[in-house]
């Protein structure tokens, strides 16, 4: 199982972000102008100064030199308020799901006093209903206000985080709203309508272990291909929590569409797009396992049914012998190219 989940702190929770890429890589990820910084491949830009916040550094969080996992950090003059713009290319993009996972992470990280005071669909790029805005007060035992926003444009995800002292809550919110208003998209029609996820009643799985029955299915040319995970995204339909997976790293929800007992199951691992998906196989009985992350999908075989929570925990912990190696991998480039490699591949 790729360890993208271990990056959860720096993406969702940390107030400061270290410079993780060399300058040569930064040029591929970002194009600066006199007044703005632009995520080159994504066609998404933000002014270098937003209210009291100023750009201090930019680079790539991972996949150095590929321009698919990018950050730009902003701070106030005194350093008390810090903000980050993330522009990244997950294989499974869903702003609603990213907001849901960030919400869980914030609540778990900052303690029981933390409470959410806003969680709404708002405008991005001048288009109403294309972003989710969330605000959390009394974080870190009352010391901090933290806020976030999420948007999905084409293949790309945009995430904004702003955090500062509680007594400067107004500046934190002004920073977030200013960044949202300042976002520019080369193609505003690429913005997906989105809204907070809603949840309904969920059918109960049988709880038994599944059996891996065959290798990853092939496409029309005989080559394994990723299939679209058939579950509504961007809050377009109710989801439900089928069960909970307990692992060495934490607890994760098994989600499915409400009222679809035979539909796809996803297990979100972090807020940056790492998702396990069990999707009804297109040509075979059973469910195909795929693991999605930034710039990559690992394809596994077909199970005769949805694996149990225990089996999924073993997959996440890297202890499941049936998924020790991916049978095929799809790599997604910033320019839209997809490269599929066959053969056993060890997880990262």
> What integer pLDDT is reported at residue 20 of this predicted model?
40
Measured over the CA atoms of residue 283, residue 293, residue 268 and residue 239, the dihedral's sign is negative
In the chain, the largest separation of any two C-alpha atoms, in whole Å, equals 61
- In this predicted model, what pLDDT tens digit does every residue of 162-196 receive, in sequence order? 999 999 999 999 999 999 999 999 999 999 999 99
Which residue do the tokens 């991916």 mark?
A: 326
Could you give the CA distance from residue 74 to residue 71 in angstroms, rounded to a whole number? 10
Structure tokens at 227: 């299939």
> What integer pLDDT is reported at residue 343 of this predicted model?
62
CB contact at 8 A, 139 and 14 = no
CA-closest candidate to residue 205, choices 282, 265, 252: 265
> What integer pLDDT is reported at residue 10 of this predicted model?
39
CA-closest candidate to residue 23, choices 58, 56, 49: 58
Domains of the chain, earliest start first: 3-190 (3.40.1000.10), 212-345 (no CATH)
> What integer pLDDT is reported at residue 97 of this predicted model?
94
CB contact at 8 A, 291 and 275 = yes
| Below-50 pLDDT ranges, the chain | 1-27, 220-221, 344-348
Measured over the CA atoms of residue 33, residue 36, residue 38 and residue 44, the dihedral's sign is negative
Could you give the CA distance from residue 107 to residue 54 in angstroms, rounded to a whole number? 28
Q: The whole model's pTM is what?
A: 0.86
């Amino acid at each position: 199982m790729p360890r993208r989940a271990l990056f959860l702190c720096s993406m969702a929770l940390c107030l400061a972000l270290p410079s993780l890429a060399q300058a040569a890589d930064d040029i591929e990820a970002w194009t600066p102008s006199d007044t703005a910084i632009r995520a080159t491949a994504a066609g998404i830009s933000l002014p270098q100064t937003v209210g009291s916040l100023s750009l201090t550094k930019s680079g790539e969080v991972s996949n150095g030199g590929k321009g698919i996992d990018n950050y730009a950090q902003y701070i106030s003059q005194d350093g008390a308020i810090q903000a980050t713009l993330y522009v990244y290319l997950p294989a499974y993009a869903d702003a609603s799901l990213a907001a849901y996972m960030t919400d869980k992470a914030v609540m778990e990280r900052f303690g029981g006093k933390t409470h959410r005071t806003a969680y709404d669909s708002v405008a991005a790029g001048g288009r109403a209903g294309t972003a989710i805005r969330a605000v959390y007060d009394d974080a870190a035992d009352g010391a901090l206000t933290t806020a976030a926003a999420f948007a999905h444009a084409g293949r790309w995800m945009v995430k904004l985080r702003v955090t500062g002292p509680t007594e400067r809550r107004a500046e934190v919110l002004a920073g977030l709203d200013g960044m949202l208003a300042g976002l520019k998209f080369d193609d505003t029609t690429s913005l997906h309508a989105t809204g907070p996820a809603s949840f309904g009643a969920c059918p109960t799985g049988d709880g038994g272990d599944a059996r891996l029955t065959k290798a990853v299915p092939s496409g029309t040319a005989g080559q394994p291909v990723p299939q679209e995970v058939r579950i509504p995204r961007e809050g377009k339909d109710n989801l439900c929590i089928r069960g909970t997976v307990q692992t060495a790293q934490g607890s994760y929800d098994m989600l499915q569409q409400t009222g679809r007992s035979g539909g796809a199951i996803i297990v979100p691992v972090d807020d940056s797009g790492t998702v396990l998906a069990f999707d009804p196989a297109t040509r075979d009985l059973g469910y195909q396992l795929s693991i999605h992350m930034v710039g990559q999908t690992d394809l596994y075989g077909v199970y005769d049914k949805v694996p149990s929570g225990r089996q999924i925990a073993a997959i996440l912990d890297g202890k499941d012998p049936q998924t020790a190696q991916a049978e095929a991998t799809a790599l997604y480039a910033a320019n839209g190219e997809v490269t599929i490699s066959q053969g056993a591949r060890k997880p990262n």
